[in-house]
Amino acid sequence: MCIANNSDSSENSVKNSIQLKAVDFFCGAGGVTCGFREAGIPVLGGIDIDITCKKTYEQNNVGSIFLNKDISSYQPESLLKDLDLKCDDDKLIFVGCSPCQYYSSVNNIKDNSAKGKLLLEDFQRFVEYFKPGYIFIENVPGLKRSPESPLGKFKEFLNLNGYIYSESVLNAKYFGVPQNRRRYVLLATRVSKNVEMPQENREELTSVEETIGDLNLFPPIPAGHKDFTDFLHSSAELREINLRRIRSTSHNGGSRRDWAPELQLECYKDYSGHEDVYGRMHWGKPAPTITTKFYSLSNGRYGHPEQDRALSLREGATLQSFPISYKFYASSQGKIARLIGNAVPPKMAEKIGNAIIKNHLNAI
């Protein structure tokens, strides 16, 4: 379960005394909910259209209610009753980390994710109705750059409704997450005249080795290993040709450039880009962005630094900064990887939660 660290009882006492609480829209597996709870912010509930998220969300975040709703048809009046909310609550936080595939630089099929490009407008209906004290939005940097993005209208709406906001593109690796993950973040409030982002820490990056290098916790496994326990140290199978390829890839950061000519892929023989594909991660660096395909060797630099396989499900979840105790429930490896890869890293969410707490303490 995602349980707040009680090592500093006085700090937690201060956090609990301010009585902030949150609603996690597009909650997925509960990355933000987990992080906010670690920061000492109760999350009343999470909302998601995908029913397969329900068990993972509720089992790990006991007390936070999962609402299986399509936000485009769900009404604010229903949410008012479902979570016993009130309007104009200065201590209420709305989290809107909507699916971001439409604005992602790696998405090549816009039609499959076109519905998601309007989710921010649906989220705005709830903000307009409830007028929460705080708003947190996280998405891919493309949300800010795309001419089709509804972000501009959303920021105009914030200005017209008494909110001030701060926005930036942040990298999760500067917030305790062992992963190079750039994301657009917006924090807004109507409670004070200023809102500050969390402070980056560029001096103490967490590496892959520090995170998944403990062989007692992550014992060596072959490609195709199935772990039927809750730990889910399972890896995807590899065809014989791909086993030969990864065996030919240098340990600790090697790439397909290490392969003999007969192992090279036709599509890359005369192409110098995308060198991370089929590559191994570096022990001494943060991981690349953990996507929904992190368990697949052919979808990025997801090869284990030393073992001849791609990341296991548990390794991917740990690089996303989920607690080791966090359990994932789905009917296939691919669906579990999707829950993990789509999540906001909990440690980054925790830093955002702490920043909201600090902003609120400065406002009262």
Taking CA atoms, 254 is separated from 235, 240, 287, 291, in Å, by 19, 19, 14, 20
Q: Has residue 312 been placed in a domain?
A: no
CB environment 115-142: b (16+ within 10 A), e (fewer): ebbebbebbbebbeebbbbbbbbbbbbb
Mean pLDDT of the chain: 91
At 6 the pLDDT is 44
96 has which bridge partners? Answer: 25
* pLDDT higher than threshold 70 for residue 130: yes
* pLDDT higher than threshold 50 for residue 112: no
- Domain residues for 115? 9-200+344-363
* pLDDT higher than threshold 50 for residue 105: no
The residue from 34, 97, 100, 267 that is catalytic is 100
Check the CA dihedral 71-75-81-85 and report its sign: positive
Give the count of alpha carbons within 13 A of 33, CB side only. Answer: 30
Q: Has residue 265 been placed in a domain?
A: no
Q: Has residue 174 been placed in a domain?
A: yes
Q: Has residue 178 been placed in a domain?
A: yes
- DSSP letter, residue 175: G
Tell me phi and psi for residue 26, to 5 degrees: 55, 50
Q: Has residue 319 been placed in a domain?
A: no
Q: Structural domain tally of the chain?
A: 1
At 16 the pLDDT is 53
* pLDDT higher than threshold 70 for residue 87: yes
Which helix H or strand E contains 96, and what residues bound it?
Answer: strand 92-96
* pLDDT higher than threshold 50 for residue 269: yes
- DSSP letter, residue 287: B
The Cα–Cα gap between 324 and 318 comes to: 7
Q: Has residue 107 been placed in a domain?
A: yes
Across the range 355-362, mean pLDDT stands at 95
Closest to 113 (Cα-Cα) out of 121, 104, 122: 104
Across the range 102-115, mean pLDDT stands at 46
At 10 the pLDDT is 47
21-25/134-139 β-pairing: unpaired
Q: Has residue 238 been placed in a domain?
A: no
> Does this model's pTM top 0.85?
yes
Task: Write the single-letter amino acid at 123.
Answer: F
At 295 the pLDDT is 97
Across the range 193-206, mean pLDDT stands at 95
* pLDDT higher than threshold 70 for residue 4: no
> Is residue 113 very low, low, confident or very high in pLDDT (cuts 50, 70, 90)?
very low
Domain CATH code at residue 358: 3.40.50.150
Q: What is the pLDDT of residues 169-195, one digit of tens each?
A: 999 999 999 999 999 999 999 999 999
Across the range 282-301, mean pLDDT stands at 97
> Is residue 164 very low, low, confident or very high in pLDDT (cuts 50, 70, 90)?
very high
Q: What is the pLDDT of residues 16-46, one digit of tens each?
A: 557 999 999 999 999 999 999 999 999 999 9
- DSSP letter, residue 307: S
Contact indicator for 46, 27 with CB cutoff of 8 Å: yes
Active site residue 100: yes
> Is residue 271 very low, low, confident or very high in pLDDT (cuts 50, 70, 90)?
low
Q: Has residue 106 been placed in a domain?
A: yes
At 267 the pLDDT is 80
Q: Which residue has the higher pLDDT, 55 or 11?
A: 55
Question: Which of 4-13, 52-61, 208-217, 270-279 is the least confident region?
Answer: 4-13
The first and second tokens of residue 217, run together, are 């916790």
Rounded (10°) CA dihedral 57, 2, 170, 96:
40
